[in-house]
Amino acid sequence: MSAESPDIERETLKYVCVLVVIVLTIIAFLGIFLFDFFWVFMLPFAFFIIIAIQAFSHYFWRAERKCPRCETQVSLYTDRCPNCGFQLITKCPQCNAPMRYDDETCNKCGYTTKKLVIPDNVELEFEYKEKDYTKKKLQQPTGEVFAFCPHCGSKLSKDQQNLRYCEICGGKLR
């Protein structure tokens, strides 16, 4: 190695440093013109606003409601209450569009449903006829026993056998 070697390295290092400073300066100016510094200060504030909206949104936009019969939390899109079997979504008699149980007019066709109002001084007598359904059980060769809904005949899995109401027809299982 010669004595000139450190000087060449020093000169090369100077040029590299100057080039890095120039590139960083150009990038900084492009950043100023392309991204206004106003956004640098507003971006964290915007993140806090988004987090606050997400934290409190469940108070304003609930995706659940309560069953009017048993007060169980159910989804907006549930047809029947899984606890008591109350029918939450019905069909419009005219156009078969889905309606909530408490809607008086159909949103699609404008059909007005009439609510039955029974005065307090009227006594009504009802005669209930209970049908005797027998539970049919099929025995598979493996020995596994399947239970069926007594109302619609749909097959119930082991998880569904503990329900009070059938998920298909809403009929009472127990």
Residues 54 and 70 in one domain: no
CB atoms within 10 A of CB 156: 18
- State how far the Cα of 155 lies from the Cα of 129, in Å rounded to an integer: 25
**Where is 172: in which H helix or E strand?**
none
Give whichever of 11-25, 26-40, 100-114, 152-166 has the largest mean pLDDT. 100-114
Q: Which residues of 15-49 are buried (b: 16+ CB within 10 A; e: fewer)?
A: eeeeeeeeeeeeeeeeeeeeeeeeeeeeeeeeeee
Is 129 part of any domain?
A: no
Residue 145 is predicted with a pLDDT of: 38
Residues 87 and 70 in one domain: yes
In the numeric block, which tokens belong to residue 93? Answer: 């008699």
Residues 56 and 77 in one domain: no
Residues 56 and 70 in one domain: no
Full residue range of the structural domain in which residue 93 is found: 66-119
DSSP category for residue 116: P
More confidently predicted of 112 and 54: 112
Single pTM value for the model:
0.35
Residues 55 and 14 in one domain: yes
Residue 23 is predicted with a pLDDT of: 81
Task: Indicate the number of domains in the chain.
Answer: 3
Is 37 part of any domain?
A: yes
DSSP category for residue 87: B
Is 99 part of any domain?
A: yes
Is 125 part of any domain?
A: no
More confidently predicted of 170 and 112: 112
Q: Which residues contact 1 (CB under 8 A, 6 or more apart)?
A: none
Is 130 part of any domain?
A: no
Residues 31 and 55 in one domain: yes
- 46-58: pLDDT as tens digits: 777 777 777 776 6
Q: Which of 43, 60, 77 is the last residue of a domain?
A: 60
- State how far the Cα of 125 lies from the Cα of 115, in Å rounded to an integer: 20
Residues 107 and 151 in one domain: no
Residues 9 and 26 in one domain: yes
Residues 48 and 18 in one domain: yes
Q: Which residues contact 113 (CB under 8 A, 6 or more apart)?
A: 92, 93, 99, 103, 104, 105, 106
User: Tokens 């510094």 sit at which residue?
Assistant: 37
CB atoms within 10 A of CB 149: 22
